[in-house]
Amino acid sequence: MSENPDLTNERASGTFETNAMAAVIYGSEKFAQRRREITEAISKIPEFQDSHPLVFMSREEKISEACRKLAVLSNYWNSLIDTSDEEEALHLYREVLGLEGHPLALHETMFIPSLIAQASDEQQEKWLGRAQRREIIGCYAQTEMGHGTNLRALETTATFDISTREFILNSPTITSLKWWPGALGKSANWSIVIANLIIKEHNYGPHPFMVQLRDEKSHEPLPGITVGDIGPKMAFNGADNGFLGFKNYRIPRENMLMRHSKVTSDGSYIKPPHAKIGYSSMVKVRSRMAMDQGLFLASALVIAVRYSAVRRQGYLEDKSREVKVLDYQTQQHRLFPSIARAYAFIFCGFETIRLYDQLLIDVQNGNTSGMADLHALTSGLKSVVTYQTGEGIEQARMACGGHGYSMASYISEIYGVAIGGCTYEGENMVMLLQLARYLVKSIEMIQNGKSRELGPMVAYLAENESEIDLNLGPNEYLKVFEYAARNQTWRATEKFQKLRNSGMSNEEAWNQASVELTRASRLHTRLYIMSTFINHVGSIVDQKVKGVLIDLLNVHVTYEVMDIGIYVQGLLSSNQMDLIRNQLYVSLETIRPNAVSLVDSFQISDMQLRSVLGRRDGNVYENLFKWAKSSPLNKTDVLPSVTQYLKPMMEKSKL
Ligand SMILES: CCCCCCCC/C=C\CCCCCCCCCCCC(=O)SCCNC(=O)CCNC(=O)[C@H](O)C(C)(C)COP(=O)(O)OP(=O)(O)OC[C@H]1O[C@@H](n2cnc3c(N)ncnc32)[C@H](O)[C@@H]1OP(=O)(O)O
Ligand SMILES: Cc1cc2nc3c(=O)[nH]c(=O)nc-3n(C[C@H](O)[C@H](O)[C@H](O)COP(=O)(O)OP(=O)(O)OC[C@H]3O[C@@H](n4cnc5c(N)ncnc54)[C@H](O)[C@@H]3O)c2cc1C
């Protein structure tokens, strides 16, 4: 069937090449091209297609379908991608397995990265190759039923037995059961387990251990291990998140991951070069999250924008034909700022992934000085990005009206998966407060006359306000944001200090100032996102692409400043606020002809999108009908439940 003419016209009105834009989104022409090649190659392998729509499958079927595809994938892995390239691998996973989770997700995202960052050279020799060849399947078991955020309260113990040179793992209480780890429930046979290291009754706190959970031949749990699936979740139901308990389960001394902390055979403990070095796997995932969430948001927007270009409802001036809903200003206001955010998140994602890779090298060379900065940055970024992604996806769903609520849109699934990110890798509020610690310390440095020692990301906290001329473009909006973030950070810090100086304990003063502190963290992070977006656009060479991204940037900066209006009341007059509001409306109109091309440029395939509404060809209605007819409820005209219950009930009512 040919393309819906409404979408053809939209594409014709685009002022730039989507391949050129994809090269900017994905960091290079080479990677953008590789993505297309991988997608093309996959489309030719019929076994990678869903055997029937995932939304009609039970949880067991989803997990089984994911395993089937993983097994097929193992035959093609080396021919489809450069296996040393993480981004290619993740693209392949997204295409083939989609986003509902699968038994290798944690293997790739946490198990292998933990071995790389935490295992000694000898340990890597023993396990890393096996993991990379997928001879074993691993997971990352840290969270417990009673403890997730506060790692210092974890209860699982690994007690060193000097006589046998083994660690004895125990889960002393019900609350100490590991709870949530992905792939733990049924798939993984090994795990990195985070447990308190106990030597001679001294607790050295949480440390990572390499633990075999299941027999490599029979896959049966090993004696001393209780393991299973935690049940259905809001989304991610293609993954078997699990529980795990230990009863006097022994592992060799060599199974504690010993790149940084060490336990010698006589039970001596060697401290790591940085107290939080064992948290690196979490920083790794957090550093990926802006990119991954940006792609979740992008997926929802591809669906909503394409659908809005074929959905006609109501009239503007021309009463002879209903208009595309994309022509309504309210629809544009609902969707276009999120397009801008998706671009901005992906640009930030590339930056934080690069920073993590550099930090990994630095730490391996003994330099841990960058850890605090990256921890603060990624803590704030994961929190703001996951929250705004959830908001944006929900708006995309509503922008699709009734059909958005149908699983045919697939938006609810994207939403469910994306908002998991508000919780995993550290609940958002808690991570905002981690960043706040860093911001408060920065203010204290300024108060103590040490402004010069501030890092580049917080130097603005020491600056004075300057006059704002909003006709000058994005950099002036950046100054507005700096004003807001600086003011809020000072206010929140001063509140905390005042409470503490009044005699309150440090902890209680912190708690009483914490809402204000999280507000400071959000503003600081949104400033970082804006400045990364501006810098990125500034570096683009292709003038057509750059022109459109400047338009998108204008949507971003005006929308963001309007959104934080309450924090800039002392800086901007109501006339200036009106001016910004009008600039936003003008920017929405400017971006309108490029809206479809901007979402096309994400180059997310129909296979990956799984959305009837978001199809590239725009043939929504006929496929929606086809999709509904394929519902298992439509296999028969009269359901057994009607025969068994409703008919007798109706018959009885007739008497
Ligand atoms: C996600 C990648 C996906 C790729 C997908 C690809 C797409 C494929 C498509 C679909 C497939 C779907 C696959 C999706 C995969 C889903 C993955 C889900 C993964 C989820 C895994 C988990 O959730 S694992 C568990 C995570 N748990 C947490 O994050 C716990 C949070 N808590 C903490 O981190 C800590 O407890 C704390 C930081 C909050 C506090 O720690 P602690 O009590 O020890 O410290 P203090 O508060 O006292 O602070 C002391 C001091 O330390 C500094 N500090 C803390 N952490 C760090 C650090 N990491 N680095 C450096 N410094 C640190 C802190 O700032 C303090 O400093 P001061 O100077 O004293 O202020
Ligand atoms: C989809 C998904 C996948 C996951 N995968 C894994 C995995 O593979 N491995 C693994 O180990 N774990 C995993 N987890 C667990 C996850 O990491 C934790 O759920 C997360 O870290 C949050 O911890 P919590 O559940 O203890 O929340 P809690 O800390 O109990 O949070 C509850 C509430 O308390 C508040 N709160 C807690 N502490 C503070 C504080 N200090 N100050 C202010 N407010 C506070 C929070 O803001 C929140 O509102 C996964 C979770 C999900 C949802």
Dist. CA 237–CA 417, nearest whole Å: 9
What pLDDT score was predicted for residue 465?
A: 77
What is the DSSP code string of 426-485?
Answer: S-HHHHHHHHHHHHHHHHHHHHTT-GGGS-TTTGGGGPPP----GGG-HHHHHHHHHHHH
Q: Is the pLDDT of residue 467 over 90?
A: no
Helix (H, G, I), strand (E, B) or coil at 274: coil
Mean pLDDT within 15-41: 98
Indicate the pLDDT class of residue 120, thresholds 50, 70 and 90.
Answer: very high
What pLDDT score was predicted for residue 312?
A: 97
Tell me the CA–centroid distance for residue 196 and ligand 1, in Å: 17
CATH architecture of 108-272: Beta Barrel (2.40)
Mean pLDDT within 265-294: 96
Dist. CA 589–CA 591, nearest whole Å: 5
Per the residue annotation, which of 65, 95, 108, 425 is the catalytic one?
425
Closest ligand (CA of 230): 2
Burial of 565 per CB tally in 10 Å (0-12, 13-18, 19+): middle
Q: List, in order, residues 6 or more apart from 332 with CB less than 8 Å away.
A: 326, 588, 589, 591, 592, 595
Note whether 241 and 139 are within 8 A (CB): no
Dist. CA 655–CA 653, nearest whole Å: 6
Helix (H, G, I), strand (E, B) or coil at 416: helix
Indicate the pLDDT class of residue 403, thresholds 50, 70 and 90.
Answer: very high
The verdict on whether residue 182 carries a ligand-binding annotation is: yes
What pLDDT score was predicted for residue 392?
A: 98
Indicate the pLDDT class of residue 52, thresholds 50, 70 and 90.
Answer: confident
Q: What is the pLDDT of residues 356-383, one digit of tens each?
A: 999 999 999 999 999 999 999 999 999 9
The 8-class DSSP code of residue 19 comes to H
Q: Is the pLDDT of residue 486 over 80?
A: yes
Closest ligand 1 atom to residue 152 Cα is 43
Which of 150, 515, 272, 559 has the alpha carbon at shortest distance from 388?
A: 559
Q: Is the pLDDT of residue 466 over 80?
A: no
For atom 32 of ligand 1, which residue has the closest CA?
A: 149
Q: What is the pLDDT of residues 250-261, one digit of tens each?
A: 999 999 999 999
* Domain ranges within the chain, ordered by starting residue: 108-272
Q: By percentage, how much of the chain surpasses pLDDT 90?
A: 97
Higher pLDDT, 248 or 53: 248
Q: Is the pLDDT of residue 430 over 80?
A: yes
ipTM of the complex: 0.96
Q: By percentage, how much of the chain surpasses pLDDT 70?
A: 100
Supply the mean pLDDT for the chain.
97
Tell me the CA–centroid distance for residue 140 and ligand 1, in Å: 13
Q: Is the CB of 459 under 6 A from ligand 2?
A: no
Q: Is the pLDDT of residue 424 over 80?
A: yes
Tell me the CA–centroid distance for residue 148 and ligand 2, in Å: 5
Closest ligand 1 atom to residue 376 Cα is 65
